Chains A and B, each alone.
Chain A
Protein backbone atom coordinates (compact mmCIF):
# COMPACT_ATOMS: atom_id res chain seq x y z
CA UNK A 1 0.00 0.00 0.00
CA UNK A 2 2.83 2.34 0.90
CA UNK A 3 4.47 1.60 -2.42
CA UNK A 4 1.34 2.29 -4.38
CA UNK A 5 0.76 5.63 -2.74
CA UNK A 6 4.39 6.64 -3.29
CA UNK A 7 4.10 5.80 -6.97
CA UNK A 8 0.90 7.75 -7.28
CA UNK A 9 2.52 10.73 -5.63
CA UNK A 10 5.20 10.78 -8.30
CA UNK A 11 2.81 10.18 -11.18
CA UNK A 12 1.39 12.87 -13.30
CA UNK A 13 -2.32 12.12 -13.75
CA UNK A 14 -2.44 13.84 -17.13
CA UNK A 15 0.21 11.51 -18.54
CA UNK A 16 -1.34 8.40 -17.07
CA UNK A 17 -4.75 9.12 -18.54
CA UNK A 18 -3.38 9.38 -22.08
CA UNK A 19 -2.17 5.78 -21.82
CA UNK A 20 1.41 6.88 -22.17
CA UNK A 21 3.77 4.02 -21.39
CA UNK A 22 7.16 5.64 -21.86
CA UNK A 23 8.40 9.20 -22.17
CA UNK A 24 11.90 10.64 -22.44
CA UNK A 25 12.18 14.33 -21.73
CA UNK A 26 15.56 15.78 -22.82
CA UNK A 27 17.41 12.78 -21.42
CA UNK A 28 21.20 12.88 -21.38
CA UNK A 29 23.42 10.01 -20.23
CA UNK A 30 27.18 10.32 -19.93
CA UNK A 31 29.87 7.75 -19.19
CA UNK A 32 32.92 9.62 -17.92
CA UNK A 33 33.54 12.14 -20.70
CA UNK A 34 31.52 10.32 -23.36
CA UNK A 35 27.91 11.25 -24.08
CA UNK A 36 25.87 8.12 -24.73
CA UNK A 37 22.45 9.81 -24.97
CA UNK A 38 22.23 13.45 -25.91
CA UNK A 39 18.99 15.33 -25.08
CA UNK A 40 16.73 12.49 -26.24
CA UNK A 41 13.00 13.22 -26.17
CA UNK A 42 10.11 11.07 -27.34
CA UNK A 43 6.98 9.53 -25.97
CA UNK A 44 5.04 6.40 -26.82
CA UNK A 45 1.54 5.30 -25.96
CA UNK A 46 0.00 1.93 -25.13
CA UNK A 47 -0.06 -0.51 -28.02
CA UNK A 48 2.46 1.51 -30.03
CA UNK A 49 5.56 0.04 -31.70
CA UNK A 50 8.84 1.95 -31.85
CA UNK A 51 11.58 0.77 -34.16
CA UNK A 52 14.93 2.04 -32.96
CA UNK A 53 17.45 1.97 -35.80
CA UNK A 54 21.08 2.95 -35.47
CA UNK A 55 24.65 1.82 -35.96
CA UNK A 56 26.54 -0.04 -33.21
CA UNK A 57 27.41 2.40 -30.43
CA UNK A 58 24.73 4.91 -31.41
CA UNK A 59 22.98 4.55 -28.04
CA UNK A 60 20.19 2.01 -28.66
CA UNK A 61 21.06 -0.26 -25.73
CA UNK A 62 21.68 2.71 -23.42
CA UNK A 63 18.24 4.09 -24.32
CA UNK A 64 16.57 0.76 -23.51
CA UNK A 65 18.44 0.40 -20.22
CA UNK A 66 17.67 4.01 -19.28
CA UNK A 67 13.96 3.39 -19.97
CA UNK A 68 13.81 0.97 -17.03
CA UNK A 69 16.32 2.74 -14.80
CA UNK A 70 19.16 0.24 -15.23
CA UNK A 71 21.19 3.28 -16.30
CA UNK A 72 20.34 6.60 -14.67
CA UNK A 73 19.89 9.81 -16.65
CA UNK A 74 22.41 12.56 -15.89
CA UNK A 75 19.94 15.20 -17.10
CA UNK A 76 16.30 15.23 -18.21
CA UNK A 77 13.42 13.06 -16.97
CA UNK A 78 12.27 9.53 -17.76
CA UNK A 79 8.61 8.58 -17.24
CA UNK A 80 7.57 4.93 -17.19
CA UNK A 81 3.80 4.37 -17.16
CA UNK A 82 3.44 8.03 -16.24
CA UNK A 83 5.72 7.72 -13.21
CA UNK A 84 8.90 9.74 -13.01
CA UNK A 85 11.62 7.15 -12.48
CA UNK A 86 14.62 9.44 -12.97
CA UNK A 87 15.58 9.60 -9.30
CA UNK A 88 13.42 6.77 -8.03
CA UNK A 89 14.85 4.52 -5.35
CA UNK A 90 15.99 1.18 -6.82
CA UNK A 91 13.73 -0.79 -4.47
CA UNK A 92 10.62 0.96 -5.80
CA UNK A 93 11.84 0.57 -9.36
CA UNK A 94 11.80 -3.24 -9.03
CA UNK A 95 8.02 -3.19 -8.76
CA UNK A 96 7.62 -0.91 -11.77
CA UNK A 97 10.06 -2.98 -13.83
CA UNK A 98 7.90 -6.01 -13.15
CA UNK A 99 5.44 -4.43 -15.62
CA UNK A 100 8.05 -4.34 -18.41
CA UNK A 101 9.42 -7.28 -20.37
CA UNK A 102 12.99 -7.07 -21.63
CA UNK A 103 14.91 -9.15 -24.12
CA UNK A 104 18.64 -8.56 -23.70
CA UNK A 105 21.05 -8.42 -26.61
CA UNK A 106 22.59 -11.79 -25.71
CA UNK A 107 19.41 -13.20 -24.19
CA UNK A 108 20.58 -12.52 -20.61
CA UNK A 109 19.51 -16.01 -19.49
CA UNK A 110 20.69 -17.39 -16.13
CA UNK A 111 23.15 -20.10 -17.12
CA UNK A 112 22.88 -22.05 -13.85
CA UNK A 113 19.10 -22.44 -14.21
CA UNK A 114 17.16 -24.71 -16.55
CA UNK A 115 15.01 -23.20 -19.29
CA UNK A 116 11.92 -23.82 -17.15
CA UNK A 117 13.47 -22.03 -14.15
CA UNK A 118 14.61 -19.17 -16.38
CA UNK A 119 11.14 -18.56 -17.79
CA UNK A 120 9.54 -19.04 -14.36
CA UNK A 121 11.99 -16.57 -12.78
CA UNK A 122 9.85 -13.40 -12.99
CA UNK A 123 6.72 -15.27 -11.87
CA UNK A 124 8.41 -16.79 -8.84
CA UNK A 125 10.72 -14.00 -7.73
CA UNK A 126 9.05 -10.66 -8.31
CA UNK A 127 8.21 -8.99 -5.04
CA UNK A 128 5.09 -7.30 -6.38
CA UNK A 129 3.64 -10.61 -7.54
CA UNK A 130 1.29 -12.61 -5.35
CA UNK A 131 2.80 -16.07 -4.86
CA UNK A 132 1.13 -18.62 -7.13
CA UNK A 133 0.96 -22.39 -6.81
CA UNK A 134 3.71 -24.35 -8.56
CA UNK A 135 1.20 -25.90 -11.00
CA UNK A 136 0.01 -22.47 -12.16
CA UNK A 137 3.62 -21.31 -12.63
CA UNK A 138 4.41 -24.44 -14.62
CA UNK A 139 1.32 -23.97 -16.76
CA UNK A 140 2.24 -20.36 -17.55
CA UNK A 141 5.84 -21.33 -18.31
CA UNK A 142 4.74 -24.05 -20.71
CA UNK A 143 2.34 -21.64 -22.34
CA UNK A 144 5.12 -19.06 -22.84
CA UNK A 145 7.49 -21.72 -24.15
CA UNK A 146 4.92 -23.13 -26.53
CA UNK A 147 4.39 -19.57 -27.77
CA UNK A 148 8.04 -19.58 -28.91
CA UNK A 149 7.73 -23.26 -29.92
CA UNK A 150 10.32 -24.50 -27.45
CA UNK A 151 8.22 -26.46 -24.95
CA UNK A 152 10.51 -29.49 -25.34
CA UNK A 153 13.52 -27.69 -23.89
CA UNK A 154 12.17 -27.21 -20.33
CA UNK A 155 14.77 -29.41 -18.65
CA UNK A 156 17.75 -28.17 -20.68
CA UNK A 157 20.25 -25.49 -19.74
CA UNK A 158 20.84 -22.35 -21.85
CA UNK A 159 24.30 -23.57 -22.87
CA UNK A 160 22.70 -26.58 -24.59
CA UNK A 161 20.64 -24.38 -26.94
CA UNK A 162 21.59 -22.56 -30.13
CA UNK A 163 21.83 -18.74 -30.26
CA UNK A 164 18.41 -18.41 -31.90
CA UNK A 165 16.78 -20.75 -29.39
CA UNK A 166 18.29 -18.81 -26.48
CA UNK A 167 16.86 -15.62 -27.97
CA UNK A 168 13.44 -17.31 -28.19
CA UNK A 169 13.65 -18.42 -24.55
CA UNK A 170 14.54 -14.78 -23.74
CA UNK A 171 11.31 -13.70 -25.47
CA UNK A 172 9.32 -16.31 -23.53
CA UNK A 173 10.78 -15.00 -20.25
CA UNK A 174 10.09 -11.39 -21.26
CA UNK A 175 6.43 -12.04 -22.01
CA UNK A 176 5.53 -14.70 -19.43
CA UNK A 177 4.15 -12.05 -17.07
CA UNK A 178 2.10 -10.53 -19.91
CA UNK A 179 3.61 -7.04 -19.51
CA UNK A 180 2.01 -4.07 -21.30
CA UNK A 181 5.44 -2.93 -22.57
CA UNK A 182 8.23 -5.10 -23.99
CA UNK A 183 11.70 -3.82 -24.86
CA UNK A 184 13.72 -5.87 -27.36
CA UNK A 185 17.43 -5.08 -27.55
CA UNK A 186 18.78 -6.21 -30.93
CA UNK A 187 16.64 -9.36 -31.09
CA UNK A 188 18.12 -10.42 -34.45
CA UNK A 189 21.79 -9.44 -33.98
CA UNK A 190 24.20 -12.19 -34.98
CA UNK A 191 21.49 -14.53 -36.29
CA UNK A 192 21.12 -15.99 -39.76
CA UNK A 193 18.32 -14.43 -41.91
CA UNK A 194 15.93 -17.36 -41.47
CA UNK A 195 16.24 -17.44 -37.66
CA UNK A 196 16.07 -13.63 -37.59
CA UNK A 197 12.75 -13.70 -39.46
CA UNK A 198 11.41 -16.38 -37.06
CA UNK A 199 12.31 -14.16 -34.10
CA UNK A 200 10.69 -11.10 -35.65
CA UNK A 201 7.57 -13.10 -36.48
CA UNK A 202 7.34 -14.05 -32.79
CA UNK A 203 7.66 -10.40 -31.79
CA UNK A 204 4.84 -9.43 -34.19
CA UNK A 205 2.73 -12.32 -32.86
CA UNK A 206 3.30 -11.21 -29.27
CA UNK A 207 2.42 -7.61 -30.12
CA UNK A 208 -0.80 -8.52 -31.93
CA UNK A 209 -2.07 -11.25 -29.63
CA UNK A 210 -1.61 -9.26 -26.44
CA UNK A 211 -1.70 -5.73 -27.89
CA UNK A 212 1.54 -4.78 -26.13
CA UNK A 213 3.62 -1.70 -26.72
CA UNK A 214 7.07 -2.62 -28.02
CA UNK A 215 10.44 -0.95 -28.52
CA UNK A 216 12.61 -2.90 -30.96
CA UNK A 217 16.23 -1.78 -31.20
CA UNK A 218 17.84 -3.15 -34.34
CA UNK A 219 20.29 -2.32 -37.09
CA UNK A 220 18.26 -4.20 -39.72
CA UNK A 221 15.69 -2.11 -41.54
CA UNK A 222 13.79 -5.23 -42.63
CA UNK A 223 12.98 -5.96 -38.96
CA UNK A 224 11.19 -2.62 -38.80
CA UNK A 225 9.44 -3.20 -42.11
CA UNK A 226 8.11 -6.50 -40.85
CA UNK A 227 6.75 -4.85 -37.70
CA UNK A 228 5.19 -2.00 -39.69
CA UNK A 229 3.60 -4.01 -42.49
CA UNK A 230 2.66 -7.38 -41.08
CA UNK A 231 0.08 -8.53 -38.63
CA UNK A 232 -0.45 -11.88 -36.95
CA UNK A 233 -3.58 -13.67 -38.06
CA UNK A 234 -4.67 -16.00 -35.22
CA UNK A 235 -7.05 -17.95 -37.49
CA UNK A 236 -4.35 -18.88 -39.98
CA UNK A 237 -1.62 -18.92 -37.35
CA UNK A 238 0.66 -16.94 -39.64
CA UNK A 239 1.71 -13.40 -40.47
CA UNK A 240 -0.12 -11.55 -43.21
CA UNK A 241 0.66 -8.31 -44.98
CA UNK A 242 -1.58 -5.37 -44.18
CA UNK A 243 -2.20 -2.43 -46.48
CA UNK A 244 0.54 0.15 -46.26
CA UNK A 245 -1.74 3.18 -46.71
CA UNK A 246 -1.31 4.18 -43.09
CA UNK A 247 -4.79 2.99 -42.16
CA UNK A 248 -3.76 -0.51 -41.22
CA UNK A 249 -4.29 0.04 -37.52
CA UNK A 250 -0.62 -0.55 -36.69
CA UNK A 251 0.97 2.29 -34.78
CA UNK A 252 4.59 1.93 -35.83
CA UNK A 253 7.06 4.78 -35.51
CA UNK A 254 10.66 4.67 -36.68
CA UNK A 255 13.47 6.39 -34.82
CA UNK A 256 17.03 6.58 -36.11
CA UNK A 257 19.80 7.14 -33.58
CA UNK A 258 23.14 8.71 -34.35
CA UNK A 259 25.85 9.40 -31.76
CA UNK A 260 23.32 9.38 -28.92
CA UNK A 261 20.87 11.72 -30.63
CA UNK A 262 17.57 10.99 -32.35
CA UNK A 263 18.40 11.84 -35.95
CA UNK A 264 14.95 10.92 -37.26
CA UNK A 265 11.48 10.20 -35.90
CA UNK A 266 8.54 9.40 -38.15
CA UNK A 267 6.66 6.89 -40.26
CA UNK A 268 8.06 4.34 -42.68
CA UNK A 269 7.16 6.49 -45.69
CA UNK A 270 8.87 9.54 -44.18
CA UNK A 271 11.94 7.45 -43.40
CA UNK A 272 12.14 6.12 -46.94
CA UNK A 273 11.88 9.60 -48.43
CA UNK A 274 14.61 11.04 -46.19
CA UNK A 275 17.58 12.48 -48.05
CA UNK A 276 19.96 12.40 -45.09
CA UNK A 277 22.83 10.07 -46.15
CA UNK A 278 23.12 8.42 -42.66
CA UNK A 279 19.38 7.70 -42.52
CA UNK A 280 19.28 6.58 -46.15
CA UNK A 281 21.94 3.95 -45.35
CA UNK A 282 19.47 2.06 -43.16
CA UNK A 283 16.73 2.13 -45.79
CA UNK A 284 18.91 0.84 -48.62
CA UNK A 285 17.98 -2.66 -49.68
Chain B
Protein backbone atom coordinates (compact mmCIF):
# COMPACT_ATOMS: atom_id res chain seq x y z
CA UNK B 1 0.00 0.00 0.00
CA UNK B 2 2.83 2.34 0.85
CA UNK B 3 4.96 1.20 -2.09
CA UNK B 4 4.93 4.68 -3.60
CA UNK B 5 6.97 5.87 -0.61
CA UNK B 6 9.79 3.38 -1.21
CA UNK B 7 11.50 5.49 -3.90
CA UNK B 8 11.64 8.80 -1.97
CA UNK B 9 12.62 7.06 1.29
CA UNK B 10 15.43 5.18 -0.45
CA UNK B 11 16.64 8.39 -2.11
CA UNK B 12 16.64 10.17 1.24
CA UNK B 13 18.45 7.29 2.94
CA UNK B 14 21.14 7.24 0.24
CA UNK B 15 21.47 11.02 0.42
CA UNK B 16 21.93 10.92 4.20
CA UNK B 17 24.48 8.11 3.86
CA UNK B 18 26.50 10.03 1.24
CA UNK B 19 26.29 13.24 3.28
CA UNK B 20 27.40 11.46 6.44
CA UNK B 21 30.43 9.94 4.72
CA UNK B 22 31.33 13.22 3.01
CA UNK B 23 31.15 15.15 6.30
CA UNK B 24 33.10 12.48 8.23
CA UNK B 25 35.78 12.59 5.54
CA UNK B 26 36.39 16.25 6.38
CA UNK B 27 38.06 14.96 9.55
CA UNK B 28 39.77 11.93 8.00
CA UNK B 29 42.93 11.66 5.97
CA UNK B 30 43.91 11.76 3.18
CA UNK B 31 42.97 15.38 2.47
CA UNK B 32 43.17 16.24 -1.18
CA UNK B 33 44.27 19.84 -0.66
CA UNK B 34 44.94 20.46 -4.36
CA UNK B 35 41.38 19.46 -5.22
CA UNK B 36 39.97 21.71 -2.47
CA UNK B 37 41.96 24.70 -3.77
CA UNK B 38 40.96 23.95 -7.37
CA UNK B 39 37.28 23.77 -6.40
CA UNK B 40 37.58 26.98 -4.36
CA UNK B 41 38.95 28.66 -7.46
CA UNK B 42 36.15 27.31 -9.69
CA UNK B 43 33.32 27.93 -7.24
CA UNK B 44 34.62 31.03 -5.48
CA UNK B 45 36.91 33.05 -7.70
CA UNK B 46 35.08 31.95 -10.85
CA UNK B 47 31.76 33.18 -9.49
CA UNK B 48 32.95 36.64 -8.39
CA UNK B 49 31.95 38.51 -11.60
CA UNK B 50 28.40 37.13 -11.66
CA UNK B 51 28.00 37.67 -7.93
CA UNK B 52 29.14 41.29 -8.27
CA UNK B 53 26.65 41.92 -11.10
CA UNK B 54 23.90 40.09 -9.27
CA UNK B 55 24.50 41.93 -5.99
CA UNK B 56 24.86 45.38 -7.52
CA UNK B 57 21.66 45.22 -9.56
CA UNK B 58 19.68 43.62 -6.73
CA UNK B 59 20.58 46.58 -4.50
CA UNK B 60 19.91 49.05 -7.30
CA UNK B 61 16.50 47.56 -8.10
CA UNK B 62 15.57 47.56 -4.41
CA UNK B 63 16.61 51.20 -4.09
CA UNK B 64 14.56 52.04 -7.13
CA UNK B 65 11.39 50.22 -6.11
CA UNK B 66 11.50 51.03 -2.39
CA UNK B 67 12.01 54.72 -3.04
CA UNK B 68 8.47 54.98 -4.42
CA UNK B 69 6.91 53.43 -1.36
CA UNK B 70 9.09 55.44 1.01
CA UNK B 71 8.31 58.67 -0.85
CA UNK B 72 4.65 58.17 0.08
CA UNK B 73 5.62 58.61 3.73
CA UNK B 74 8.31 61.18 3.01
CA UNK B 75 10.90 58.72 4.31
CA UNK B 76 13.23 58.28 1.35
CA UNK B 77 16.06 59.18 3.72
CA UNK B 78 15.65 55.75 5.32
CA UNK B 79 16.40 53.90 2.08
CA UNK B 80 19.83 52.76 3.32
CA UNK B 81 18.24 51.06 6.32
CA UNK B 82 15.75 49.09 4.23
CA UNK B 83 18.28 48.04 1.62
CA UNK B 84 20.76 46.92 4.30
CA UNK B 85 18.32 44.84 6.32
CA UNK B 86 16.66 43.11 3.35
CA UNK B 87 19.94 42.44 1.63
CA UNK B 88 22.00 41.19 4.54
CA UNK B 89 19.25 39.11 6.09
CA UNK B 90 17.56 37.63 3.07
CA UNK B 91 18.19 38.63 -0.50
CA UNK B 92 21.98 38.58 -0.46
CA UNK B 93 22.27 35.01 0.86
CA UNK B 94 19.32 33.63 -1.13
CA UNK B 95 20.09 35.21 -4.49
CA UNK B 96 23.78 34.37 -4.24
CA UNK B 97 22.96 30.78 -3.28
CA UNK B 98 20.55 30.47 -6.20
CA UNK B 99 23.23 31.83 -8.51
CA UNK B 100 25.79 29.33 -7.18
CA UNK B 101 23.29 26.45 -7.31
CA UNK B 102 22.60 27.29 -10.95
CA UNK B 103 26.24 27.80 -11.80
CA UNK B 104 28.13 25.30 -9.63
CA UNK B 105 25.51 22.86 -8.31
CA UNK B 106 24.63 22.03 -11.91
CA UNK B 107 28.32 21.89 -12.83
CA UNK B 108 29.07 19.46 -10.01
CA UNK B 109 26.13 17.20 -10.95
CA UNK B 110 27.00 17.12 -14.64
CA UNK B 111 30.73 16.58 -14.05
CA UNK B 112 30.26 13.74 -11.57
CA UNK B 113 27.35 12.37 -13.66
CA UNK B 114 29.56 12.15 -16.75
CA UNK B 115 32.26 10.46 -14.69
CA UNK B 116 29.69 7.99 -13.38
CA UNK B 117 28.28 6.98 -16.77
CA UNK B 118 31.76 6.60 -18.29
CA UNK B 119 32.84 4.33 -15.39
CA UNK B 120 35.42 6.82 -14.12
CA UNK B 121 33.95 6.67 -10.62
CA UNK B 122 34.28 2.86 -10.69
CA UNK B 123 37.85 3.27 -11.97
CA UNK B 124 38.56 5.55 -9.02
CA UNK B 125 37.25 2.94 -6.58
CA UNK B 126 39.15 0.17 -8.37
CA UNK B 127 42.38 2.18 -8.13
CA UNK B 128 42.08 2.17 -4.36
CA UNK B 129 40.77 5.69 -3.78
CA UNK B 130 37.50 6.75 -2.20
CA UNK B 131 35.46 8.80 -4.73
CA UNK B 132 33.63 10.50 -1.86
CA UNK B 133 36.93 11.61 -0.32
CA UNK B 134 38.37 12.60 -3.69
CA UNK B 135 35.33 14.21 -5.33
CA UNK B 136 32.56 15.02 -2.83
CA UNK B 137 34.44 16.26 0.24
CA UNK B 138 36.61 18.83 -1.62
CA UNK B 139 33.49 20.26 -3.31
CA UNK B 140 31.69 20.38 0.02
CA UNK B 141 34.54 22.17 1.79
CA UNK B 142 35.09 24.57 -1.11
CA UNK B 143 31.41 25.54 -1.35
CA UNK B 144 31.03 25.87 2.43
CA UNK B 145 34.00 28.24 2.59
CA UNK B 146 33.34 30.24 -0.57
CA UNK B 147 29.57 30.80 -0.47
CA UNK B 148 29.61 32.89 2.77
CA UNK B 149 32.49 34.93 1.30
CA UNK B 150 30.63 35.43 -1.97
CA UNK B 151 27.56 36.47 0.01
CA UNK B 152 29.60 39.17 1.77
CA UNK B 153 30.71 40.43 -1.67
CA UNK B 154 27.10 40.35 -2.91
CA UNK B 155 25.83 42.18 0.21
CA UNK B 156 28.43 44.91 -0.17
CA UNK B 157 27.77 45.30 -3.90
CA UNK B 158 24.02 45.45 -3.19
CA UNK B 159 24.52 48.21 -0.66
CA UNK B 160 26.67 49.98 -3.20
CA UNK B 161 23.99 49.56 -5.88
CA UNK B 162 21.40 51.02 -3.52
CA UNK B 163 23.76 53.87 -2.75
CA UNK B 164 24.29 54.71 -6.45
CA UNK B 165 20.49 54.89 -6.99
CA UNK B 166 19.98 56.93 -3.80
CA UNK B 167 22.65 59.42 -4.75
CA UNK B 168 21.83 59.78 -8.44
CA UNK B 169 18.03 59.58 -8.41
CA UNK B 170 17.00 60.47 -4.85
CA UNK B 171 19.64 63.08 -4.01
CA UNK B 172 20.54 61.41 -0.73
CA UNK B 173 24.05 62.15 0.55
CA UNK B 174 26.61 59.42 0.98
CA UNK B 175 26.87 60.09 4.72
CA UNK B 176 23.13 59.78 5.21
CA UNK B 177 22.83 56.58 3.16
CA UNK B 178 25.73 54.75 4.78
CA UNK B 179 24.97 55.86 8.32
CA UNK B 180 21.34 54.68 8.14
CA UNK B 181 22.46 51.45 6.53
CA UNK B 182 25.17 50.86 9.16
CA UNK B 183 22.93 51.69 12.11
CA UNK B 184 20.14 49.43 10.87
CA UNK B 185 22.28 46.30 10.99
CA UNK B 186 22.39 44.37 14.22
CA UNK B 187 24.58 41.50 15.30
CA UNK B 188 21.62 39.16 14.81
CA UNK B 189 21.24 40.18 11.13
CA UNK B 190 24.87 39.58 10.32
CA UNK B 191 24.93 36.16 12.04
CA UNK B 192 21.81 35.07 10.19
CA UNK B 193 23.19 36.50 6.94
CA UNK B 194 26.30 34.33 7.27
CA UNK B 195 24.70 31.22 8.73
CA UNK B 196 22.29 30.94 5.83
CA UNK B 197 24.90 30.79 3.06
CA UNK B 198 26.83 28.21 5.08
CA UNK B 199 23.74 25.99 5.27
CA UNK B 200 22.90 26.63 1.60
CA UNK B 201 26.45 25.71 0.60
CA UNK B 202 26.22 22.32 2.28
CA UNK B 203 22.90 21.65 0.53
CA UNK B 204 24.10 22.83 -2.91
CA UNK B 205 27.31 20.77 -2.80
CA UNK B 206 25.77 17.61 -1.38
CA UNK B 207 22.68 17.67 -3.61
CA UNK B 208 24.85 18.27 -6.70
CA UNK B 209 27.22 15.46 -5.72
CA UNK B 210 24.39 13.09 -4.82
CA UNK B 211 22.60 13.44 -8.16
CA UNK B 212 25.92 13.29 -10.01
CA UNK B 213 27.15 10.17 -8.23
CA UNK B 214 23.82 8.41 -8.76
CA UNK B 215 23.44 9.16 -12.46
CA UNK B 216 22.20 6.34 -14.63
CA UNK B 217 21.11 6.19 -18.25
CA UNK B 218 23.95 7.65 -20.31
CA UNK B 219 24.13 11.23 -21.50
CA UNK B 220 20.38 11.71 -21.12
CA UNK B 221 20.81 10.68 -17.49
CA UNK B 222 23.49 13.35 -17.02
CA UNK B 223 21.04 16.01 -18.22
CA UNK B 224 18.35 14.67 -15.91
CA UNK B 225 20.71 14.59 -12.93
CA UNK B 226 21.77 18.19 -13.56
CA UNK B 227 18.19 19.45 -13.73
CA UNK B 228 17.21 17.53 -10.60
CA UNK B 229 20.22 18.84 -8.69
CA UNK B 230 19.36 22.47 -9.48
CA UNK B 231 15.62 22.14 -8.81
CA UNK B 232 16.10 20.27 -5.53
CA UNK B 233 18.78 22.73 -4.38
CA UNK B 234 16.47 25.71 -5.19
CA UNK B 235 13.64 24.19 -3.19
CA UNK B 236 15.86 23.46 -0.19
CA UNK B 237 17.33 26.97 -0.28
CA UNK B 238 13.85 28.48 0.01
CA UNK B 239 12.78 26.02 2.73
CA UNK B 240 15.97 26.52 4.77
CA UNK B 241 15.83 30.31 4.55
CA UNK B 242 12.31 30.18 5.95
CA UNK B 243 13.29 28.03 8.92
CA UNK B 244 16.48 29.91 9.77
CA UNK B 245 14.55 33.17 9.38
CA UNK B 246 11.86 31.82 11.71
CA UNK B 247 14.41 30.89 14.38
CA UNK B 248 16.02 34.33 14.24
CA UNK B 249 12.69 36.14 14.30
CA UNK B 250 11.94 34.27 17.53
CA UNK B 251 15.38 35.09 18.92
CA UNK B 252 15.00 38.73 17.92
User: Which residue of the partner chain B has the closest CB to A183?
Assistant: B126
Which A residues touch B120, using CB under 8 A?
108-111
User: Which residue of the partner chain B has the closest CB to A110?
Assistant: B120
Which residue of the partner chain, among B123, B124, B130, contacts A127 with CB atoms under 8 Å?
A: B130
Which B residues touch A108, using CB under 8 A?
118-120, 122-123, 126
Which B residues touch A111, using CB under 8 A?
118, 120
Given A106-B119, A111-B120, verify A94-B29 contact (CB < 8 Å).
Answer: no
A98 to B127, CA, bound (A): 6
Interface residues on B, range: 10 to 19
Which B residues touch A248, using CB under 8 A?
none
User: Which residue of the partner chain B has the closest CB to A131?
Assistant: B30
User: Which residue of the partner chain A has the closest CB to B134?
Assistant: A125
* Residue A90 CB within 8 A of the other chain: yes
* Residue A121 CB within 8 A of the other chain: yes
**Contact between A127 and B129, CB atoms less than 8 A apart:** yes
A96 to B126, CA, bound (A): 10
* Residue B246 CB within 8 A of the other chain: no
**Contact between B130 and A70, CB atoms less than 8 A apart:** no
**Contact between A125 and B123, CB atoms less than 8 A apart:** no
Shortest Cβ distance from A103 into chain B, in angstroms?
10
Which A residues touch B134, using CB under 8 A?
125
* Residue A77 CB within 8 A of the other chain: no
**Contact between A127 and B30, CB atoms less than 8 A apart:** yes
Interface string of A167-200 (1 = CB under 8 A from B): 0000001000000000000000000000000000
Which B residues touch A112, using CB under 8 A?
111
* Residue A68 CB within 8 A of the other chain: yes
Interface string of A80-102 (1 = CB under 8 A from B): 00000000001100111111101
**Contact between A104 and B129, CB atoms less than 8 A apart:** no
**Contact between B127 and A97, CB atoms less than 8 A apart:** yes
A94 to B29, CA, bound (A): 13
Q: Which chain B residues numbered 91 to 133 have a C-beta less than 8 Å away from chain A? A: 111, 115, 118-120, 122-130, 133
Which residue of the partner chain, among A91, A97, A109, contacts B126 with CB atoms under 8 Å?
A: A97
Which of B29, B128, B130, B134 has most chain A Cβ within 10 Å? B128
Interface string of A1-38 (1 = CB under 8 A from B): 00000000000000000000000000000000000000
Which residue of the partner chain, among B111, B123, B128, B133, contacts A98 with CB atoms under 8 Å?
A: B128
Which residue of the partner chain, among B29, B30, B111, B125, contacts A97 with CB atoms under 8 Å?
A: B125
19 A-B residue pairings within 8 Å (CB atoms): A65-B122, A68-B126, A94-B128, A97-B128, A100-B126, A108-B123, A108-B126, A109-B123, A110-B115, A110-B124, A111-B118, A112-B111, A121-B127, A122-B127, A125-B30, A125-B128, A126-B127, A126-B129, A127-B128
Q: Which 6 A-B pairs have the closest CB atoms?
A: A98-B128, A108-B123, A97-B128, A125-B129, A126-B128, A102-B126
Chain A residues close to B by CB (< 8 Å): 65, 68, 70, 90-91, 94-100, 102, 104, 106, 108-112, 121-122, 125-128, 173
Chain B residues close to A by CB (< 8 Å): 29-30, 32, 111, 115, 118-120, 122-130, 133-134
Kindly list 18 other residue pairs between chains A and B, CB separation below 8 angstroms, not including A104-B123, A110-B124, A128-B128: A65-B122, A68-B126, A70-B122, A94-B129, A97-B125, A97-B128, A98-B127, A98-B128, A102-B123, A108-B118, A108-B119, A108-B123, A109-B120, A110-B120, A111-B118, A112-B111, A122-B128, A125-B127
